[in-house]
Structure 1
Amino acid sequence: MTVLTDRYTRAVDYAREAHATQTRKGTQIPYLYHLLAVSSLVLEFGGNEDQAIAALLHDVIEDCGATHAAAIRSAFGDAVAAIVVACTDGSAEAKAEHATPEARRADWTARKQHYLSHLAEASDEVLLVSCCDKLHNARSIVQDLESPAVGVSVFQRFTGGKSGTLWYYDALSRIFSSRGSPPAACFERVVARLHDAATH
């Protein structure tokens, strides 16, 4: 059994403060909800405390800025920082450099391709956190697709659009399955539902 210490409590507070003004795309749901959900999935699939903490912090660099990397390393150690960095496909500053939709789409495609290549060789610890992150994201998209109030308009929230989003989740599923990540089978089923809901 994974025992959670006061480090985990401090990580929840760190994530809450870092993402305090942010919400999930297209909603008024506090962003912390996603981070807690991903951390819960990590624990459900056998992760240790470092992985559960990294799950709480996995979007801090990407959404709040690159300066958080050193702060995370100082507060939570090298193992947590390494997972967070490995789960980051671009800093908030780097993404902000692209002003036009075309530039953002090109940057998105390049970042996702690089991230997929990186995952193919990432450690099992990184794979677990990444897979749980993508699993929760995919479940949220399916939920919106199946909602009459949202439906396929959910894809308007994403830089990759419908085709890019479906491509990305397919590619992720293949990698997680080939690497034998514990949540891979669950993720594969959710991606199948994602395709079904996107085309009906």
Structure 2
Amino acid sequence: MTDLVGAARAFAEDRHRDQRRKDAGASPYVTHVAEVAALTEGFGGGVVEIAAAWLHDTVEDCPPTSHDELAAAFGAEVAAIVGALTDDKSLPKAERKRMQVVNAPSKSSGAALVKICDKISNCRAVAETPPVTWSVARRLAYLDWSVEVVTVLPPHHPAARAHFDGVIRAARARIAVEADHSVQ
């Protein structure tokens, strides 16, 4: 692990330290960014992309973390990828989701890779360890929206895209089985 990636990991672990996922076990949020970083590395991401994967949710979810702070600590390239992946929290949730689709085609190769890996991690979690309050319909709607986002990303990273497609198929199948069992 390079110094940049190690520093990004330590920063993310610190900033996300008290955050929990919305699953039944309230798992530590940092497990998500760790998975995104591992996927990014596994699909050929370089040091900049892996560092950005560790940091991708810090500006959005860990105030007062800022783009300028990330640029000063990790460089302009890392900060640019994180910036490209950061939703504007001042917008309503539906608008933020719409903007992810609108902005996806203009993502850099690095931002596209981290975004695909983020969606792989989130879609797997929605299938395997979903937020406790999410209905089957909401889980399926999340998968559909994720497909919409990934579909319009620039056509880079075919292996990551193929893996995403497999995760979506498996997630839909698992949710369908759960829905069938809950009806019986």
TM-score w.r.t. structure 2 length? Answer: 0.84
Higher RCO (CA 8 Å, separation ≥ 6 residues):
2
User: Are 1:167 and 2:144 matched, yes or no?
Assistant: yes
Q: Which 4+ runs in 1 deviate beyond 4 A? A: none
Task: Check the 8 A contact 2:37/2:53 in 1, yes or no.
Answer: yes
Counterpart position of 2:105: 120
1:179 maps to which of 122, 139, 155: 155
Q: Distance in 1 between matches of 2:166 and 2:116?
A: 13
Counterpart position of 1:143: 128
* 1:193 Cα offset (Å): 2.0
2:18 maps to which of 17, 21, 46: 21
Deviation readout 1:151-192 (Å, 9 max, x if unpaired) = xx5625xxx93353133123134225x724330011011112
- Matched residue count: 175
| 1:75-90 alignment, distance < 5 Å | 75-90=73-88
Q: Distance in 1 between matches of 2:141 and 2:37?
A: 26
Task: Check the 8 A contact 1:43/1:52 in 2, yes or no.
Answer: yes
Q: Distance in 2 between matches of 1:59 and 1:187?
A: 20
Mind listing any 5+ residue stretches in structure 2 that lack a counterpart?
Answer: 178-184
Counterpart position of 2:181: none
Counterpart position of 1:60: 58
| 1:68-107 alignment, distance < 5 Å | 68-91=66-89, 94=90, 107=92
Counterpart position of 1:131: 116
Report the aligned-residue RMSD: 2.3
Q: Counterpart of 1:137 in structure 2: which amino acid? A: N
| 1:27-46 alignment, distance < 5 Å | 27-46=25-44
Task: Check the 8 A contact 1:144/1:154 in 2, yes or no.
Answer: no
Name which of structure 1's ranges 20-29 and 30-39 shifts more when overlaid on structure 2: 20-29
Name which of structure 1's ranges 80-89 and 6-15 shifts more when overlaid on structure 2: 6-15
Q: Secondary structure at the match of 1:28?
A: coil
Counterpart position of 2:180: none
The percentage of counterpart residues that share the same residue type is: 29
Name which of structure 1's ranges 166-175 and 41-50 shifts more when overlaid on structure 2: 166-175
Deviation readout 1:27-50 (Å, 9 max, x if unpaired) = 332111111111011110000001
Deviation readout 1:79-120 (Å, 9 max, x if unpaired) = 0000001011224xx36xxxxxxxxxxx22211111111111
Task: Check the 8 A contact 1:15/1:32 in 2, yes or no.
Answer: yes
Mind listing any 5+ residue stretches in structure 1 that lack a counterpart?
Answer: 96-106
* 1:23 Cα offset (Å): 1.1
